[in-house]
Amino acid sequence: MTDHTPRIVRTDTPQGACAQLHGRWGAAELGTRRQWAAVSEQLQAHPAAPDLAWDLTPLQWLDHVGAQLVWNHWQRAWPAQLDCTDAQRDMLERVAELTTGTEPPREPWRLAEEVDRLGLLVLHGVNHARHMLEMVGQLVLDMGRLARNPRRGPWRDVSGHLYRMGATALPITALVGFLIGVVLAYLMSLQLRQFGAESFIVNILGISLIRELGPMLAAILVAGRSGSAITAQIGVMRVTEELDAMRVMGIPHG
């Protein structure tokens, strides 16, 4: 079986030391962190030197990723001794042509910038905590007003929201629950058939869907459907400045 692992083999020739590249030097093979680290370690063990020859002819595959890796290891200069095919040379020449100049220098670490970044994070955290405290406080005040005068509560709006967010979500919830039940029944039948326990599919579905998965699925679907609808409605109200008008009129949470 052919070994496709990218690797470097050092050989001694009459002309001197030679580094031979074997395997497949492509994006698929070099995409894993473990393989990239192994190849980088092998390249570091073979630094670019005038007396070191490079032989790319044993390669099974070379694409732009492998060519870029080799070209960067050569410090973006052609080695004194290089043996490769025409296709490999074309790939290396294309990489050398499209490679930009020297990498921009990294910005030095500055204590003032780190302190400034930390201060911004702290201010954002304090701002979020303040908004959370305002929301909880407003909720407590509204609940207190409602407890003192229950007749002035927005019961009609509450019932309307319960109908639009809960009752109208039942059809899609029932449809999704039915489809999930069909899929679970099919998958469980394949597994239970191996043990001759197909007669227990109904009992398992009844327990799993009605008692366990049913309430959770219904809650997730209703929350996702109603939550996205509420978010979209609030976004439209913010664009049309309805929230500002409600805040001016003194409506809570306006």
Mean pLDDT for all residues in the chain: 84
Q: Which of 46-60, 128-142, 193-207 has the highest mean pLDDT?
A: 128-142
Distance CA 115, CA 110 (A): 9
pLDDT above 50: residue 174: yes
Mean pLDDT of 136-163: 87
Binned at pLDDT 50, 70 and 90, residue 254 comes out as very low
pLDDT in tens, 83-123: 888 888 888 888 888 876 566 677 787 888 889 999 999 99
| Contact indicator for 207, 181 with CB cutoff of 8 Å | no
Binned at pLDDT 50, 70 and 90, residue 173 comes out as confident
Secondary structure, 3-state, the chain: CCCCCCEEEEEEECCEEEEEEECEECHHHHCCHHHHHHHHHHHHHCCCCCCCEEECCCCCEECHHHHHHHHHHCCCCCCCCEECCHHHHHHHHHHHHHCCCCCCCCCCCCHHHHHHHHHHHHHHHHHHHHHHHHHHHHHHHHHHHHHHCHHHCCHHHHHHHHHHHCHHHHHHHHHHHHHHHHHHHHHHHHHHHHHCCHHHHHHHHHHHHHHHHHHHHHHHHHHHHHHHHHHHHHHHHHHCCHHHHHHHCCCCCC
Instruction: Give the HSE-up count for residue 219: Cα atoms under 13 Å, Cβ half-sphere.
Output: 5
pLDDT above 70: residue 64: yes
Mean pLDDT of 26-44: 84
pLDDT above 60: residue 67: yes
| Whether the predicted model's global pTM rises above the 0.85 cut | no
pLDDT, residue 253, reads: 56
pLDDT above 60: residue 1: no
pLDDT above 80: residue 244: yes
pLDDT, residue 252, reads: 62
- Provide the residue type at 16 as one letter: G
| Contact indicator for 95, 64 with CB cutoff of 8 Å | yes
| Contact indicator for 128, 238 with CB cutoff of 8 Å | no
Q: Token pair 């058939």 is at which residue?
A: 193
Mean pLDDT of 165-188: 85
All structural domains of the chain, each given as residue ranges with its CATH number in brackets, are 7-98 (3.30.750), 150-249 (no CATH)
pLDDT, residue 137, reads: 92
pLDDT, residue 132, reads: 95
